[in-house]
Amino acid sequence: MNNLPRRRMLQGAGLSALALGSPTLLSACGTESQVQTEDSCKSTDKSEEEKELVFSNWPEYIDVQGKRMPTLEQFETETGIDVTYDTDINDNADFFGKVKDQLGSCEPIGRDIITMTDSTAGRMIALGWMQQLDKDNLPNVEANLIESLRSPSWDSEREYSVPWQAGLTGIAYNADVAEEVTSFEEMLTRSDLKGKVGLLTEMEDTMAFMLVINGADPEDFSDDEWETAIDHLTEVVGSGQVRRFTGNDYIRDLKSGNLAACMAWSGDIAAAEDDRIPFVQPEEGLNIWSDNMMVPNKAEHKANAEALMNYYYDPVVAATLAAWVWYICPVDGAREAMEKIDPSLVDNNLIFPSEDFLGSTRSFMALDEKTRQQYETDFRQASGA
């Protein structure tokens, strides 16, 4: 992997402090009727009598051996809590759309933990859809959460969220069907890739790169710079260069050759274990983000969910998970634990990045809810969604 050219310590992108809890901004985009509070939407915890929970996560995001998930099974054995583990999150916006009517109406969504990326996590918290966590049940999290993830703007005290993993967005290509791809701009312009390029449905990921190649800073840009980047994306899509916009499901098309090159998440490519498909740090740099566990309103097994969150912040468990998923581990002490699990991974910057490495990545500018709604609409129109 090349040395990274850009900047900024690991920092979750999300709603600005202005947007959090602001009825004015929420009502401005038509979501006022969906805002909940602790008084308007009360939840009952049945954890003591019901030793179970439902955990919704992204695909390829937990350790697997055959049909087993060893760390999850160990949790079940230690606690007696039966976990239903679903991989039904493929895209933040898509999942948000599936659950917004129920959560906005204070109705259960049948899940005790959901795992959302920074800005979507922030939106859900600002709308009052998540239950406040009991930190007395999270001693490992309190002790071992890495410093750079402790105070995101959208949940500054981590009252509602616990990071599952953090990761990087770059590009990948299939060496059987394409010559080496070294930059995002190259992916959008090379004639041999036309019709075989994949971009992400995640607005922040795709548009961060579009802003960079148009000379803007994704962490501090104007509306005019946004419009220039959107216009450029519209032109690229109209040219036929892009085959499709994807969520977590791009791996299948990349392996088959339907996609010759695409935007990709670091751990996905590691989990694919395919020598034909390298993860590339493009010349424009890497995006950085975190995915966060939260307990939605009306979930009935909150204490059970907190027990699982706390379990995964044991350094040995965290290192075991990290050795499989190859995402940035959010747990202090896991690097030392990795010495015994797989010493070859101790200095892997995709799992335990150095400060220099983190200092050269970028996140996406925090947005208030009204601006986010507009930008999401712009992005959907440009991408043809």
- Residue 245, beta-bridge partner list: 199
Residue 26 has pLDDT above 60, yes or no: no
- Whole-model pTM? 0.85
Whole-angstrom distance, CA of residue 359 vs CA of residue 356: 5
pLDDT at 304: 98
Whole-number percent of the chain with pLDDT over 90: 79
Mean pLDDT of 43-58: 98
Whole-angstrom distance, CA of residue 204 vs CA of residue 235: 19
* Contact of 115 with 58, CB cutoff 8 Å: yes
Indicate the pLDDT class of residue 32, thresholds 50, 70 and 90: low
Residue 347 has pLDDT above 80, yes or no: yes
For helices 369-383 and 118-126, angle between their N-to-C axes, nearest 10 degrees: 130
Mean pLDDT of 275-282: 94
The overall average pLDDT reported for the chain is 90
* Tens digit of each residue's pLDDT (9 = 90 or more) over 192-207: 999 999 999 999 999 9
Indicate the pLDDT class of residue 15, thresholds 50, 70 and 90: very low
* Contact of 166 with 318, CB cutoff 8 Å: no
* 248 or 265: which leads in pLDDT: 265
Whole-number percent of the chain with pLDDT over 70: 91
pLDDT at 271: 81
> Helices marked H in the chain — which ranges?
23-28, 70-79, 92-104, 118-126, 139-144, 184-189, 203-213, 223-238, 250-256, 266-272, 302-311, 315-325, 334-341, 355-358, 369-383
Rounded alpha-carbon distances, angstroms, from residue 1 to 67, 107, 170, 282, 357: 32, 46, 11, 9, 11
Mean pLDDT of 21-41: 63
pLDDT at 10: 36
* Contact of 172 with 264, CB cutoff 8 Å: yes
Lowest mean pLDDT among 27-31, 62-66, 71-75: 27-31
pLDDT at 153: 87
Residue 282 has pLDDT above 80, yes or no: yes
* 3 or 35: which leads in pLDDT: 35
Whole-angstrom distance, CA of residue 112 vs CA of residue 81: 13
pLDDT at 31: 54
pLDDT at 3: 32
pLDDT at 355: 84
pLDDT at 234: 98
Amino acid (1-letter code) at residue 306: E
